[in-house]
Amino acid sequence: MLFKSLLLFGAALWAPGAVMALDATATPSPTPGSSAPVSAAAMGTPKAVPDGLSAGDLAPGWVKFEGMYNTSDQPDLLKSAQVLNGGSYVNPGGLGPYTGTTTASNNGLGLGFELGLLLDSHNGLALGARYLQNNLYLSNLTYPEGPSNPDSEGVTILPTMIPITLDYYFFLPDAGGRFFLTGGVGYYFANVRVNQNTTSFNLFGSNNTAPDIWSGNLTSGALGFQFGLGRDFALGPRFGLTVFVRGRYAHISNLQGRLLDSDAVSGQFGLAANSQGVVDVDRTSNITGANGEHYATIDFTGFEAGLALNFYHF
C-alpha cells in the first residue's frame, strides 16, 4: 500500500489526471491488517481536476514574484528638462545665459510580490507589494558669466514608489491555465532621492557664500488604483508563468524631508517647481505662491508590463 501511495503522489505531481486512473484500480477496502490508502489530498498534493481545467486553476492560494518594465507620466520632470534644454530658463538670481544639458525620462523597471486567495475557480483576492523606479533626472548647468566666474548648478532626482495593493481577480480558466482581469486600490508611497550642488545662486536665486551641497530623501504618499489583465500559463500542478499588463493612477505631491549638506547640517526641504516649470529642491518655507513656487508632482500614473513566476499552494 505504501508503494501505491507513492504512485499516487507522483501521479498528482506530474500528471494530475492520472490520479483518477490509479484510483480506478484500487480495491474497495484494505486487506485485513493493512492501513487504508492515503489520499492525494491528505498528502497535500493537488486533487484530480475536471476536464478542461489545470491543477493551478483550483489551487486555494498562490504566491507570485514579478519583474516588469514600467512607464509613467512624470509631466513636471519632463517639462523641467524641456525648459532647461530649450535655453529659455531665466535664473531668478540674474546669472544670465548658461550651457549644459538636462535629461529626464518616464521609463523604468520594477519588482513585485503578490499573495493570492482563490474564492472559487472564477474569483480571487490578492495582497501585493511592488517597487517601481523611474530613470534618473539629471541637470548640469554652467553660467560662464556668473559672479563666481563661472557658477554651476547640478541636480539629480531619482523617483521610486512602493504601492501596497489589494486586488480582485476574475478568472477564465482552461486546461492550459487561465486568463484574468484584475482591479483594486492601493496606497502609493513615493520616495525621491535628491542631490543638489550649486555655487553662488541656486536655481531659485538664493545667494550662497560657498558651494551649497544638499542630499537626502523626500517622501510622500497618496491613495491610488490599478487595473490589469493577463494570463497564467500552467507549467505543472504547482507552478506557472504569468504574462501581464497593468495600468495605475498614482499622483503624488508635497514631497518633503530633511536634507544634509556637506557639513552634516540638516534643513527641511521640498521638491518644488517654479513659475517657469523648472524642478528643484528648496526650503519648505520658500515654497509659496508669493515666491512663484509650488510643490512639484511625482506622477507614476502609467502602466507596466512584465512576467511573473507563480507558485500554487494546495
Query: By C-alpha distance, which of 130, 118, 11, 145 is closest to 70?
Result: 130
Write down the pLDDT at residue 191: 97
Answer yes or no: do 159 and 261 share one domain.
yes
Answer yes or no: do 10 and 159 share one domain.
no
- Provide φ and ψ at 264, rounded to 5°: 65, 25
Q: Does a structural domain hold residue 92? A: yes
Answer yes or no: do 244 and 299 share one domain.
yes
Banded model confidence at residue 27, pLDDT cuts 50, 70, 90: very low
- For the chain, the C-alpha Rg in angstroms (whole number) is 28
Q: Does a structural domain hold residue 113? A: yes
Q: Does a structural domain hold residue 53? A: no
Cα separation, 115 vs 103, whole angstroms: 37
Answer yes or no: do 278 and 132 share one domain.
yes
The count of domains in the chain is: 2
Q: Does a structural domain hold residue 257? A: yes
Dihedral sign for Cα 67, 77, 220, 247, please. Answer: negative
Answer yes or no: do 282 and 305 share one domain.
yes
Answer yes or no: do 43 and 155 share one domain.
no
Banded model confidence at residue 38, pLDDT cuts 50, 70, 90: very low
Write down the pLDDT at residue 88: 86
> Residue 73 is part of a domain; what is its CATH number?
2.40.160.20
Answer yes or no: do 64 and 38 share one domain.
no
DSSP 42-75: TTTPPPP--TT--GGGG-SEEEEEEEEEEEE--H
pTM, full prediction: 0.79
Answer yes or no: do 224 and 75 share one domain.
yes
Answer yes or no: do 197 and 85 share one domain.
yes
Q: Does a structural domain hold residue 55? A: no
Q: Residue 15's domain spans which residues?
A: 1-48
Contact 237, 9 (CB under 8 A): no
Answer yes or no: do 22 and 90 share one domain.
no
Answer yes or no: do 122 and 236 share one domain.
yes
Count the neighbouring beta carbons within 10 Å of the beta carbon of residue 38: 15
Question: At residue 168, does pLDDT exceed 70?
Answer: yes
Q: Does a structural domain hold residue 54? A: no
Write down the pLDDT at residue 52: 75
**Mean predicted confidence (pLDDT) in 31-49:** 50
Q: What is the mean pLDDT of the chain?
A: 83
Between 288 and 146, residue with greater pLDDT? 288
Coil, strand or helix: which one is 18?
Answer: helix
Answer yes or no: do 97 and 117 share one domain.
yes
